[in-house]
Each structure stands twice: as C-alpha cells, then as structure tokens.
Chain A
C-alpha cells in the first residue's frame, strides 16, 4: 500500500462534521463541527464532562459516532492510521502491567499491517530515539509500575513519538506531572510543531492555555468556538465554555436520555 500523501500547511489536519456521541443515551458531544489546521499546537478546553476526551476518542474511532463523520488529512482514519498517534489519559491504563519502559515504547512500533514481522533495526532505533527525546533512555529497563507520574507520562509520549506520526492527539498530558516534566514535554511539543507536526491536546487548566497553545477549541458538549487563540479567547466564549449548560439544551439532553431517543433519524446519520 503506498503511503498516503500528506503535505503540511495546505489542508486541514482534522475535519469533524456534525459529530455526536452518546453514552448511555446521554448526548455528551452534540453536533460538533470543526476544521483544525496543520502544524499548530491546538488546545481543547472545557470543564469536566464537556466531552473533550470523548472528542479525541471519536476522532480516533474509539467510540461510535451517533451522527456525523471525521476526516484526517482529508482521508478516512483507517487509510492514514500510521500518521496519527494517540496518547490516552495516564490513569486509563493499568500501571502494574508486566512491562518495561522499553517494551511499552516498542508497542508504538507494532502495526496491524506488520503483524507477522519482527521489529527491525530501524524500529529499535526509533524506539531508542523516542526514549532519548523524552529523556528516559536511562530508564529503559525500568518496570513501568516503579515510575513517577511524570515519568509515566513521558513513556506514553515516547510511545507516540516512536510511531513517527504527523498528527498527535494527547489526552490530559499534564495531569499529575511535576513542573520539570511539564516544561520538558512542552519544549518537546514546540520542537515537534517546528518540524511541521500537528499536536492536539486536551487540557483542563485555563491558566496556562495562552502560554501553551496557539489555537484553541472550546467545548461544552457543543462547540463553543475554535480558532486562533487571540480571536476566540473572549469573555463571552469563556462564559459559554465554563459556565453551566444552557437550560433548554440541558433539558433536551435529559429528555433524549430518558426517552431513549436516537439523536438522528434514520438516513440523517451522516448529515
């Protein structure tokens, strides 16, 4: 299969069209529509339960969409999978899993298309490089359960780096991380941006957004705003993002849940 053609700066990295996701019938993402640029550091902000993590999972095809669709570099995710690296929340995995730092990062080189192949010299080199970039090479034989929170997060990022993707989606990478690690991760991400990579980060702390990101997605179950940070960071948008849900909207959300109603009628799923 020839490698899909991806040129930085000329197209959307992620295009989400009217995506909705429901958990137990409750709409947690409702008709979210956005085009994200390439080569930027993009933050997704919103309060707890605003659907930030769900949006990342929806983009990665990890939760089923009740409506809408997602394109990555203007293609279906499955045709371009190797160009996308996803870093789930650190708490989402079992850190008692029997594996060393190196083994976790090596998993970043496993690809469904190469199921029967052994890892090559190049793979091992990329694993080594990724560990070096996050400053964890000297820990490569360490048991993952023995690491600090910041070190665990760096291992996660190394695993994504080892994939050698062009688009990185990170879910709350700064939670439970020490100050030094936060700075190290941020420097690394800025470096990656300079190389033309696109980085999308789910972030819960509003304080640091202006210093971290140059592009912002503001989410509160529905899309509030997305765009260059100085354009969208208005009082009005902040209130809509971090204020409570609009009453009418919340009530409809609840009715859909109670009546177990589909969020789209048949034939309108893609619309």
Chain B
C-alpha cells in the first residue's frame, strides 16, 4: 500500500469518527442510544439493494440507498411503538433483527451472483478500511462538511429540543421537522461509517465519543467538540492498528481504542471518575477522623479530665490505631493539638474547632427534637454524621432558628465560644 493511500485511509477513518461523535452526541443526550444500532443494522438491505440496482459500489449511491433505509427503520420503530402496545425497546429489537435478516439474505444473493466476490459487500459487516478508495474518502469529506455545517447552523433548535421538546415546541420550534433532520444526519453518518467500521460496531462509534465527552465537560459546545476529537482519534488509531497487519478488520480495532478511552475516562474523569470518587472518600474519612478525635478530647475535657492520654481517648471512643495516628499528626500539624510527656492538650485553635463540632452535634440534636419531632433516643446517630456537614452559613441559620439554646436534649451544655457574634 502506498504511503499516500495510507494517509487517505486514515483521514477517512478520522472523518468517520469525527462525524459520528458530532451526531452521536445528540443521540446520546436524547437517550436514543439503541436507535443507532437499529439504524446501522437496517441499512444493510439498503446498501445491498443500492448495489443490486446500480451494479456499483459507488459511495454516493450507497450513502443514498443506505440513508433511505435508515430513515425507513426509524419510522418503522416509531410506527410499531405508536400503533401497537409494544414498548420502544421491543420495537427497536424487531426492526434491528428483521432488517438485518433481510440484509443478510440479500447479501447471500449477491454473493452467488457472478461478480459477487468482487463486490466486497461482506466488508460492511465489520468494515475494512484497506478496501476504501480515494473516491470513498472524498465522499466522507463531503458528508463530514455537510454534517458539521448543519449542526452549527441548527445548533439553537437542536440544543433546545435535546433539553426539552416541550419547551422548544412551546417556543414555536417545529420539533418534528428538526428531529427528522437529525434522523437524516444520523442515517447519513451511519451509512458512511459502515463502509469503514461495519454494521455491528457502528453504533458504538456513534454513542461512545459522546458518552466519554459527557464525563469531561458540562457544556454542550465543549462536549460536541470533545466528542468529535475522541471520534476522530479512535478512527485514526484504530485504523493504524488494523492496517498494521494484512486482513484485519477495522471496526473492532476502532472500538477497542474507543473502549480503552472509556476505561480511562471512568478512571480519571473529574468528579464522576473512579479516582475522583476515591479521593473524595479519602478526604471525607480524613475529616471525620480528625473531627471525631477533637470532639473526643473535648468530651474528656468536659468531664474534667486534665490528664488526657492516648489510652483515655481510646477508652472514650474506639478508633483504629492507624486512623488515630494519622488524624493526630494532621491535627498537630494544623496546630490544634499538643503532646507533652504523653499528656495531650488542645491549643486555643483546637478548642475552638473541637467546640464547633460538639456545638453542631448538639444543635442538630436540638433541631431534630424541637422541629422535626424526633424522640430523644433516636437523634444521636444522625447527629454523628450531620456534625461534619453543617456549613458556617447553615450553622448561623440553625442557631438563630433555635434561638441559641444553652443545652441539648440530653441536658448537655452547648458550647458557643465566639460563635454567637
């Protein structure tokens, strides 16, 4: 294979990935992820019929005949769903399998015809980038430009409708018309993409990039852009891998790249990624351990114990040794606790913070009994959690709402320190 052809093919795969990412973003947001699968399977008979009628694998003929079948399949799903009492999943399953069966039958007819072996239509199942021609790549580029321009020009209605069809319809947007345009775009993109990655895996390329992008951004415009980049990258990287040895299908490699990107996203995405969740949990645990330690020392002080040792703390509250150690050294670094000859004491800063925790605990217990009608013996457990969560603003509201009570429901004093000002 010549170098320039290789470049062409990679460009084509990049274009397919990019346009799938762009259109797929809307399918993903409208939770119509299975429709892509239905459409890609249903396009198969369209491609074969297009080939049978015109006797050529010309990309424009195939895109046209495939798109028509894509639209027919979407319409079929809606009709089956509306006219029968079958659920949308069932309708999608019926359309997917029936049209795919029809396509497979037609494909076997073509294979038996004299020039069947050259037709290469089989490659539509898993895609084979190596068979793409220059003509195909030009067609991809044209479709890509068409799709991107449409999405930019019609961004406002597409965004409005994806958020809420009722809202958009109420404003006078012709929801059905724009949904049809989106269905046309989806069908065109799927038909085009089939030639590169195949029927079976096209829907993954449609939905994957959008799903990944959603994890990384909260803005639709950025999501679209990122989805285009992820799609293009998957196409190119998958293409390179599949072309590295003879006779390897493209589609599976593209999807493996995409899957790898999904795993990385699930691990590292901000806020919703595994790593972010872990670090959040760690911070929560750290905060709880430190605050519980301070609170325990304060409780001992309240009892008049002025020789507080590690042992007396552990007698008051069971804490894991490692957790205890870490919390203690963190608190001494913050200048809240001191240790002198095995006697532990709180600094001025430590006293204020410890009293804050005790105060929040007891205020919350007051709130539960006074405002929410909890019984006295049902309040301690939840207060153990809530004491770590009440912000300064909420604390102020709580104190004012309860009018600065001096005791909690168990007649323990509520320490205010400087909090009343």
Contacts and interface: CB of A to CB of B under 8 A. Distances in A.
Interface string B213-232: 01001111001000000000
B170 A85 contact: yes
B268 to A, nearest CB: 19
Interface stretch (A11-19, A107-115, A197-205): A107-115
Nearest to B29: A97
Contact of A98 (B31, B156, B167, B220): B220
B157 interface: yes
B164 A78 contact: no
B153 A99 contact: no
B164 A111 contact: no
Given A112-B172, A112-B174, A143-B218, A97 B153 contact: no
A30 interface: no
Contacts of B217: 98
Contacts of B404: none
A169 B160 CA distance: 18
A61 B214 CA distance: 33
Contacts, number: 81
Nearest to B214: A98
Interface string A239-254: 0000000000000000
Given A98-B217, A98-B220, A98-B223, A62 B166 contact: yes
Given A115-B156, A115-B157, A81 B163 contact: no
B210 to A, nearest CB: 10
B162 interface: yes
Contacts of B29: 94, 97-98
A86 B170 contact: yes
A261 to B, nearest CB: 16
A100 interface: yes
A94 B157 contact: no
Contacts of B167: 86, 88, 93, 107, 159
B173 A57 contact: no
A94 B163 contact: yes
A143 B168 CA distance: 20
A100 B154 CA distance: 20
A67 interface: no
Given A98-B218, A112-B173, A88 B166 contact: yes
A93 B171 contact: no
A100 B160 CA distance: 13
A94 B159 CA distance: 13
A104 interface: yes
A92 interface: yes
A93 B218 contact: no
A118 B377 CA distance: 62
A69 interface: no
B323 to A, nearest CB: 31
A268 interface: no
B120 interface: no
Contacts of B169: 60-62
Interface in A44-92: 57, 60-62, 78, 81-82, 84-86, 88, 92
Contacts of B164: 88, 92-93
A5 interface: no
Contacts of A93: 163-164, 167
Interface of A: 57, 60-62, 78, 81-82, 84-86, 88, 92-94, 97-100, 103-104, 107-108, 110-112, 115-116, 143, 145, 159, 163, 169
Interface of B: 29, 31, 153-154, 156-157, 159-160, 162-164, 166-174, 214, 217-220, 223
